Amino acid sequence: MTTPTAAASPRVAGPIRLGRNARIAVASVVFLAVFYAFIGPQQFANALTLGAIYALIALGYTMVYGIIELINFAHGDVFMTGSFVSMTLLTRIILPVTGLTAPIRDIVPLLLVLLLVFALTMPIMGLIGVTIERFAYRPLRNAPRVAPLITAIGVSFILQNLALIIFGPASVNTPQLIAPELSVNIADATVPYINIFIFVLAIFLMVALNQFVGRTRLGRAMRSTAQDREAAQLMGVDLNLTIAITFFIGSALAGAAGVVWGLYLGSVKWDLGFNGGLKAFTAAVLGGIGNTTGATLGGFVIGFIEVGAASKGFSRWSEAIVFAALIIVLVFRPAGILGQQLGERA
């Protein structure tokens, strides 16, 4: 005798499970929508601009840590040096030679001057970053971790004091090439052209960096070095060249952030790197240090928190709120928002 077969029951669909990238995208949209409603369109545009600058600086932090696991505390002062380099190039070379005065109203000369100041400042800062790595960090690569950490702090003080000696303790005005009063209305917000320029430039540089790391031979060398330096070296990766290129790119991005800081605020100062570097380091840790996408996300999150606090009358508490948010995230996600907890290498 055979047992009767049960009728096939219809399959019940389970809950929809989103992938990691989809969850991040949904969370980002919700975050932006909440802040848009909380601070309004005008402050929303300001937060995007500030967050873009922090993200550019944070990329250098996270790249260096991802490759050699060094917290490069001198990176904030590399950003400060970049702002002074761009100011010097504009006031003493580019504008005098071209005969132009800031702000520049004609679009073609403006684009040429912008292209020139970025094309000069970024390589100069990249070479400064490579020089710092060669003489301050490379000799200590196999030393205990506290040695290069203290060296990084020492390099930071050297850059600060050089700027203090050369430019003095007061703020120094830098030409604002794009007139601050030029603006466009977007979603009930008056957005200056300089804000749009900074945001678009930051996104372009971040996408270009991700494409470089993900699709080029040097990018593959960086990723393999970040995973296992010894194995990468055995497979033919030139560690010195890879690390030097990492410092060059990170410092060049800090130089770009220094340029846009001067264009945005119109002044630079010798101690600019401390606060900027601290916020950028916090952004890198918040997003997941070693993760370029996480550093970008962390920069924008801090920009929104700072502007949101200031817009509600808590500007004095903005830094405390930023670090409180960092502590809360690290309690639940010790590796950061996009970081992955990895075991110790054997």
Q: Please give the torsion angle defined by the CA atoms of residues 108, 90, 160 and 262, in that order, rounded to the nearest 10 degrees.
A: -40
Does pLDDT of 138 surpass 80? yes
- State the pLDDT confidence band at 124, using cuts at 50, 70 and 90: very high
Mean pLDDT of 118-143: 94
Spatial CA neighbour of 286 closest among 278, 92, 163: 278
Does pLDDT of 342 surpass 60? no
Domain-wise residue ranges, the chain: 38-332
* pLDDT attached to residue 22: 72
- CA–CA separation, 118 and 279 (whole Å): 23
* pLDDT attached to residue 1: 45
Q: What is the pLDDT of residues 267-288, one digit of tens each?
A: 999 999 998 889 999 999 998 8
- State the pLDDT confidence band at 346, using cuts at 50, 70 and 90: very low
Does pLDDT of 178 surpass 70? yes
Write out the CATH class of domain 38-332.
mainly alpha
Q: How far is CA 137 from CA 64, 231, 285, in A?
A: 11, 21, 21
The two structure tokens encoding residue 312:
């509600």
- State the pLDDT confidence band at 33, using cuts at 50, 70 and 90: confident
Does pLDDT of 290 surpass 50? yes
